[in-house]
């Protein structure tokens, strides 16, 4: 079985006011974002080479760096007590299929823009993440997972992550 952690922290963003509470996800001690970036790098490089004539004013590698792993952690609204990470997604971002869950969102702060999706299956004893994909690219992310977690360890980790505040106006992306 794999192990998972959900670590709350404040993420400084260039395009918005201050810092946003987010939920960093690590599997077996490795941040999910690092795993995804490594897997997406060859696809981003290939796309940069294919589109080189569109980016003549940019140094080589710029598009690769912009595309591979171009996500930010989920905002804390997706943490406990939300059922989003327990197979009951609260949002179905653009490009998602029924049964998929957003695990990472776009760096612009709009979850609908660019997302890492996966199927989250929950049984009595196991939580499984499989079928990873980018919501906007046809890149093969099959080497990412599947991951199987003990449901008790998974839920303990999720409950120790950030708490949504009730009765207060949210300062998170998309809050109205």
Encode pLDDT of 76-133 as tens digits.
888 888 999 999 998 788 778 888 999 999 888 777 788 999 999 999 999 999 999 9
**Mean pLDDT of the 49-78 span:** 85
Q: What is the pLDDT of residue 110?
A: 79
**Which helix or strand (DSSP H or E) is residue 158 part of?**
helix 151-159
Whole-number percent of the chain with pLDDT over 70:
91
Distance (Å, rounded) from C-alpha 67 to C-alpha 37? 9
Q: Are 35 and 27 in contact (CB under 8 A)?
A: yes
Range ranked top by mean pLDDT from 59-68, 72-81, 146-155: 146-155
pTM: predicted TM-score of the whole model, two decimal places: 0.85
59 or 172: which carries more pLDDT confidence? Answer: 59
- Longest CA–CA span in the chain (Å) reads 54
The pair phi, psi for residue 99, each rounded to 5°, is 90, -5
Going by pLDDT thresholds of 50, 70 and 90, the confidence category of residue 161 is: low
Q: What is the pLDDT of residue 166?
A: 40
Arithmetic mean of pLDDT over the chain = 86
Instruction: Classify strands 147-150 and 126-134 as parallel, antiparallel or unpaired.
Output: antiparallel
CB neighbour burial string for 71-97, b if at least 16 within 10 angstroms, e if fewer: bbbbbbbbbbebebbbeebebbbebbe
Q: Are 133 and 115 in contact (CB under 8 A)?
A: no
Sign of CA dihedral 94, 97, 98, 100: negative
Q: How many residues does the chain have?
A: 176
Distance (Å, rounded) from C-alpha 176 to C-alpha 171? 9
Closest CA relative to residue 105, chosen from 13, 2, 30, 5: 13
Distance (Å, rounded) from C-alpha 121 to C-alpha 128? 5
């Amino acid at each position: 079985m794999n192990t998972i952690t959900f670590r709350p922290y404040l993420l400084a963003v260039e395009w918005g006011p201050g810092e946003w509470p987010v939920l960093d996800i690590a599997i077996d001690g490795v941040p999910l974002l690092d795993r995804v970036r490594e897997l997406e790098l060859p696809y981003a490089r290939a796309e940069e080479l294919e589109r080189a004539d569109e980016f003549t004013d940019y140094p080589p590698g710029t598009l690769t760096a912009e595309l591979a792993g171009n996500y930010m952690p989920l905002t804390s609204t997706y943490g406990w007590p939300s059922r989003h990470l327990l197979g009951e997604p609260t949002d179905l971002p653009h490009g998602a299929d029924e049964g998929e869950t957003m695990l990472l969102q776009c760096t612009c702060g709009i979850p609908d823009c660019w997302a890492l999706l996966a199927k989250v299956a929950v049984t009595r004893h196991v939580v499984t993440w499989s079928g990873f994909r980018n919501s906007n690219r046809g890149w093969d992310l099959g080497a990412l997972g599947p991951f199987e977690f003990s449901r008790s360890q998974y839920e303990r980790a999720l409950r120790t992550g950030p708490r949504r505040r009730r009765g207060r106006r949210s300062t998170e992306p998309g809050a109205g």
